[in-house]
Amino acid sequence: MTTDIASWIRERAIAEVECIVPDMNGIQRGKVLPANKFLKSLTDKNLRIPGSVFMVTVTGDYPEDMDGIMPGYDPDLILVPDAATIREAPGFTTPTAYVIADAFDGNGKPIEIAPRQILKRVLALYEKRGWRPVIAPELEFYLVSKNLDADIPLVPPVGRSGRAETASQPFGLEALGEFEDIIEQIYDWCEKSELNIDTMIHEAGAAQLEVNFIHGDPLALADQALLFKRIVRQVALEHGVYATFLAKPMSDQPGSAMHIHQSIIDIETGRNVFSTQNGRDSALFRSHIAGLVRLMPQVLPLFAPNVNSFRRMQPDTAAPINVHWGTDNRSCGLRVPVSGYKDRRIENRLPGADANPYLAIAASLVCGYVGMVERMQPPKAITGSAYNRARTLPRTLEAALDRFSHCRPVKHLLGEDFFELFYAIKETELFAYQSVISSWEREHLLLKV
């Protein structure tokens, strides 16, 4: 591995390397090193980071009483860069590379609570059964005007016309052209970084865009989604605006999702196990759906990890309120796209754009895996609007965390320590949020109650 990375760095005259560690929220942490020092660290195995990197909350705090998972004296972990993830980092004056690293303890054992390791764990479950998942994320985001005061609501940015969008423009080509310079630079930088993005469209929200990734290996695509967010934010800043993957950034606009298309391939034959030989839905396909229907509401914080995430899931907003499934039905939490037997798949519409891609993909796949292994049977597919059916998803992060802590089938497969730590991080963030007095409270309660 060291030789491959060394050759790659020399060929491109890379001067600096960003060694990235995705934390529990999908935030990129890590170290920046001169290239020669980075290469030396691969040989000496002395590239280290404190173990608390996987315990930090989105506010920069830490949950209490986690000594059983990570010792309180915060020992160093050893970072081992994954050679398959190294790529050029666009936008830097100094030639720079990104590389994503896995963490190990002093005995060479992988850190099981790390999000990237959680996804690897799920993929290993599939491999033992002779299956290989294939996924394709669709990631939505907003461009917004710069906002220097957190108390002021976000607004759409001014486009090339000199005007800001005020109405919904789904799939609008002229609306897309308003941000042509930004979009072209995103494509250029993604090409330089070898991110396999496909089409980009204008979504329903004002200055809301969506990118589709080309289907492939779940771990590789989680890595790409992580880096894509970084690139989009950097491009937006160069053009004087913000890019946000917040699930619901503006109260009067739709939320942003990270839909996950998933199918399963038989490793030996290369056949899509979701289809029978005559092109019909297979028993495994139906069982996979059954696992998603049964378990996803119980692990919703892995798809909707923040207080804001639950603002997105409202009726008639292209976001689900339940986990019904149906063919080509976007009101459902689970949509079966129109497809042939080779590309039959299920689209999981629960995850928000704010979800950690490693954990969202891992959770989606593990729920389907349980269904397949236990040969679950799904409820009947629905026709018509799922918004006319009862809400079965929790309305708040607090309610979702309560159900999450009791989901034994998934807890067993993803690990007790991971579940305990993830719950503690989210509970700490929830407490921090509930400690804040909002502008709504000051507006409506201050002088009235």
Render pLDDT for 239-292 as a digit per residue (tens, 0 to 9): 999 999 999 999 999 999 999 999 999 999 999 999 998 888 999 999 999 999
Question: What distance in Å separates the CA atoms of residue 315 and residue 391, rounded to the nearest whole number?
Answer: 9
pLDDT in tens, 70-93: 877 789 999 999 999 999 999 999
Q: What is the pLDDT of residue 71?
A: 79
Q: What is the pLDDT of residue 65?
A: 85
Q: What is the pLDDT of residue 3?
A: 54
In order along its 449 residues, the chain shows pLDDT tens digits of 455 899 999 999 999 999 999 999 999 999 999 999 999 999 888 899 999 999 999 999 999 888 888 877 789 999 999 999 999 999 999 999 999 999 999 899 999 999 999 999 999 999 999 999 999 999 999 999 999 999 899 999 999 999 888 777 777 788 888 899 999 999 999 999 999 999 999 998 999 999 999 999 999 999 999 999 999 999 999 999 999 999 999 999 999 999 999 999 999 999 999 999 888 899 999 999 999 999 999 999 999 999 999 999 998 888 999 999 999 999 999 999 998 888 999 999 999 999 999 999 999 999 999 999 999 999 999 999 999 999 999 999 999 999 999 999 999 999 999 999 999 999 999 999 999 999 999 999 999 99
User: What domains are there in the chain, each with its CATH number?
Assistant: 2-107 (3.10.20.70), 123-414 (3.30.590.10)
Residues 195-232 as b/e (b if ≥16 CB within 10 A, e otherwise) read bebeebbbbbbbbbbbbbbebeebbebbbbbbbbbbbb
Neighbouring residues of 70: CB distance < 8 A, sequence distance ≥ 6: 51, 52, 54, 55, 113, 421
Q: What is the pLDDT of residue 2?
A: 57
pTM for the whole structure: 0.96
Q: What angle do CA 375, 378, 383 make, to 5 degrees?
A: 155
Evaluated on CA atoms 308, 30, 135, 173, the torsion sign reads positive
pLDDT in tens, 291-310: 999 999 999 999 999 999 99
Contact (Cβ atoms closer than 8 angstroms) between residue 55 and residue 81: no
Question: Where are any strands of DSSP class E within 207-321?
Answer: 208-213, 241-244, 258-266
Name residue 80's beta-bridge partners.
102
CA distances, 382 to each of 65, 148, 331 (Å): 46, 46, 10
Question: What distance in Å separates the CA atoms of residue 232 and residue 276, rounded to the nearest whole number?
Answer: 40
Q: Which two tokens stand for residue 199?
A: 């089409």
Q: What is the pLDDT of residue 175?
A: 80
Residue showing tokens 């491009």: 235
Q: What angle do CA 146, 254, 378 make, to 5 degrees?
A: 140
H/E element holding 17? strand 16-22
Question: What distance in Å separates the CA atoms of residue 226 and residue 22, rounded to the nearest whole number?
Answer: 8
Q: For residue 69, which of 27, 31, 105 has the smallest C-alpha distance?
A: 105
Q: What is the pLDDT of residue 1?
A: 46
Q: For residue 349, which of 380, 316, 325, 384 has the smallest C-alpha distance?
A: 325
